[in-house]
Structure 1
Amino acid sequence: MKTILFILTSVFLGVAGQMLLKMGLYKTPPMEGLSVKILHLIFKPYILLGFISYGLSSIFWLLVLSRTELSYAYPMVALGYVFVFIFSWLYFKDQVTLIRVIGLVLICIGVVFVAMTQPNTPKPIN
């Protein structure tokens, strides 16, 4: 059960990172020059928070990898697609189409199938 919580925490922090990066870019005026644009963007609070969220997500992911099989844990990362879709629709008013919803339902079904299996304890890598 702890492993599932670590997986979900990692996924949610990744989703938060995506949302924060998008929010940081939201209403950003076009700029000339790549270096000027990069310098301007990396110091925006939402962008910085997005990178921090990704960093924390990676730390939780390391905990996941130390506790379970990669083939069990990694498919659950696909839940991030579902949550990003929902939050993007709610916050950014992204388009919802039937084909996208069907795709997300299929992702959820796949994650449920994977979650129903019993993973083995990972073997140490030499």
Structure 2
Amino acid sequence: MPQASILLYFVITLGLSLSGQVLLKKGVMLRLAGATPSMPDFLRHHLLPLALSVHVIAGVVLCGLGVISWVYVLSRFELSRALPLLGGLAYISLFFIGRVFLREPTSWVNFGGILLITLGLYLVSLRTT
């Protein structure tokens, strides 16, 4: 299988999953507006409105499509190699998504840690035989 098509499968899975997660986070941010309710309060007052919000519905749909894409990836690749690769790509992508789109605070130390984790995941994914 050519390298470009292998990477495409991972990028599609990652794109769907991360887009869904960002929409879920955006829906939660809009609904809670900085509030930090207790679990009972969250379940009583926030869960149903969240479940019916456009952001959350779209996020769940995209995450579901991401799961379907992931199942396809797993039909083509060993889990022990696919998951570290996807995890590494996800860590790097989420760092930038959180910083740029969600305005979450990050530092170069965070980025360095993510690079070290990604390197470790890559090393784990290498074949030893």
TM-score range, shorter chain: 0.7 to 0.9
Deviation by residue 1:100-122 (Cα, 9 ceiling, x = unmatched): 1111211333455467x47xxxx
Select the residue among 69, 74, 91 that pairs with 1:81.
Answer: 91
Q: CA deviation at 1:21?
A: 0.7
Is 1:90 matched with 2:100? yes
Amino acid at match of 1:21: L
Secondary structure at 2:30's aligned position in 1? coil
Q: Give 1:1-126 correspondences, 5 Å limit.
A: 1=3, 2-29=5-32, 30=35, 32=41, 34-78=43-87, 79-113=89-123, 117=126
Aligned length: 117
Deviation by residue 1:45-87 (Cα, 9 ceiling, x = unmatched): 1101110111011111111111111111000222212211101
- CA separation in 1, counterparts of 2:83 and 2:42? 37
Q: CA deviation at 1:38?
A: 1.2
Percent of aligned pairs with the same residue?
A: 28
Gapped runs of 5+ residues in structure 2? none
Alpha-carbon contact 1:14-1:80 (below 8 Å) kept = no
Gapped runs of 5+ residues in structure 1? 119-126
Q: Could you say what the CA RMSD is over the residues aligned between the two structures, in angstroms?
A: 2.2
- CA separation in 1, counterparts of 2:112 and 2:68? 32
More helix by share: 2
Structure 1 residue runs of 4 or more that deviate by more than 4 Å after TM superposition: 30-33, 111-115
- CA separation in 2, counterparts of 1:68 and 1:92? 32
- CA separation in 1, counterparts of 2:59 and 2:72? 20
Amino acid at match of 1:92: L
TM-score by length of 2: 0.78
